[in-house]
Amino acid sequence: MPNLPEIDTQFLLDFLTKLLNTPSPTGLAEPAIALTEQTLEAFPALKLSRTRKGALLATWPGERDDCPRALTAHADTLGAMVKEIKSNGRLKLSQIGGYAWNNIEGEGCTVYTRFGRPLRGSILLTKASAHVYGPEINDTKRSADTLEVRLDARTFTEKETLDLGISVGDFVAFDPRVEINAGFVRSRHLDDKACVAALVAAVKALADAGLKPARTTSLLISNYEEVGHGAAAGIPADVEELLVVDMAAVGEGQASDEFHASLCVKDSGGPYHHGLSDRLRTLAEKHAIPYKVDIYPYYRSDGEAFWSAGGDIAVASSAPV
Ligand SMILES: [Zn+2]
């Protein structure tokens, strides 16, 4: 087999850093979609378009036109919305996507008001001070009722917060805390921006090598994955194979780890397409790509969103870690 084209790692890291620093909770993912679109505009062979839902579709005509393929990754992230402005001027949150409440405790956040500048704040336990509440802090179950946003603004009442321009339904983005250190990239929102960056870097690698895909290939950068229907629409009707590129599920008992690509052959939605998964295993072996095969216990991908919406093609799911 010929060698795979070289990935421009610096380009990948620069784009990934920019993407991670572009807030995009589901429902407000447009800036991240637009950044990806601008970056792909550097490759004129790709035809770029948007779905009516706002996802980005990039189609690259291949050596052959039959049996076109697609890959998808999502640019939206977990986040929140303002559920309620409390009588003490602080904000109660409604989750966007599924995550444990304790994962956002202490995080900095930005509230996007309808008019005017975004406001900054912190997500705190309602009884945050150990000097006041003592052991109650460790005993408190983290939930929508026990966490709140304290704004970087002088407000002690609901009215003062309303006067800041905040209203119910404003989007809240959690700080991405991007750090590149000793070859590792750390950030809250690597899911799934790492995969979007991997796809864009793969396009650049092929283009730099003067190559194009063997078959016409579309990339769908979806914008509603975290709430379950990202790629339900947007895959071109003639596509015959879809590969979902999203995060792995790493933990005790899992085969996946941070140093291998992984191929998810089954998750909460059932098995993926055996023939396509098997072909990906064969390709990884031929090209000496270290990988693991795994089953993700509490996980659904955009491939299942597509299948559930009636998609009638082979779907497989992979992860860069
Ligand atoms: Zn994801």
Strands 179-181 and 119-125: unpaired
Q: What is the pLDDT of residue 321?
A: 63
Q: Distance of alpha carbon 89 from its chain centroid, rounded?
A: 31
Nearest to 97 by CA among 258, 246, 216: 246
Alpha carbon distance 99, 208 (integer Å): 39
192 preceded by cis ω (within 30°)? Answer: yes
55 CA → ligand 1 middle, Å: 15
Find out whether 302 and 269 touch, Cβ atoms under 8 Å: no
User: Are 164 and 117 in contact, with CB atoms under 8 Å apart?
Assistant: no
Instruction: Using the mean position of ligand 1's atoms as its centre, give its distance from the Cα of residue 263 in Å.
Output: 14
Quote the pLDDT of residue 1: 54
Residue 164 Cα to ligand 1 midpoint, Å, equals 33
pLDDT computed for residue 3 by the predictor? 81
Ligand 1 centroid distance, CA of 278 (Å): 22
DSSP string over 245-300: E-----STT-S--TTSEEEEEEETTEE--HHHHHHHHHHHHHTT--EEEEE-SS--
CB-based contacts of 7: which residues, under 8 Å, 6+ apart?
Answer: 201, 202, 204, 205
**Helical pair 30-40 and 190-208, crossing angle rounded to 10 deg:** 10
What is d(CA 205, CA 4) in angstroms, rounded to the nearest whole number? 9
pLDDT at position 146, please? 98
215, 64 contact by CB (below 8 A): yes
**CA 189 – ligand 1 centroid, Å:** 9
All residues with CB under 5 Å from ion ligand 1:
191-192, 246
Tokens of residue 223, six digits = 């914008």
Please name which of 9, 23, 5 lies closest in space to residue 197, comparing C-alpha atoms.
9
Question: Ligand 1 centre from 304 Cα, in Å?
Answer: 13
Catalytic residue numbers, as ranges? 225
Q: How far apart are CA 305 and CA 235, in angstroms?
A: 11
User: CA-to-CA distance for 304 and 302, rounded, in angstroms?
Assistant: 5
Q: What is the pLDDT along the chain (321 residues), one digit of tens a residue?
A: 568 999 999 999 999 999 999 999 999 999 999 999 999 999 999 999 999 999 999 999 999 999 999 999 999 999 999 999 999 999 999 999 999 999 999 999 999 999 988 999 999 999 999 999 999 999 999 999 999 999 999 999 999 999 999 999 999 999 999 999 999 999 999 999 999 999 999 999 999 999 999 999 999 999 999 999 999 999 999 999 999 999 999 999 999 999 999 999 999 999 999 999 999 999 999 999 999 999 999 999 999 999 999 999 999 999 986
Q: Which residues contact 108 (CB under 8 A, 6 or more apart)?
A: 120, 121, 122, 123, 174, 175
- Output the CA torsion 202→176→166→153 (10° steps): -150
pLDDT at 320: 80
Distance 252 CA to ligand 1 centre (A): 20
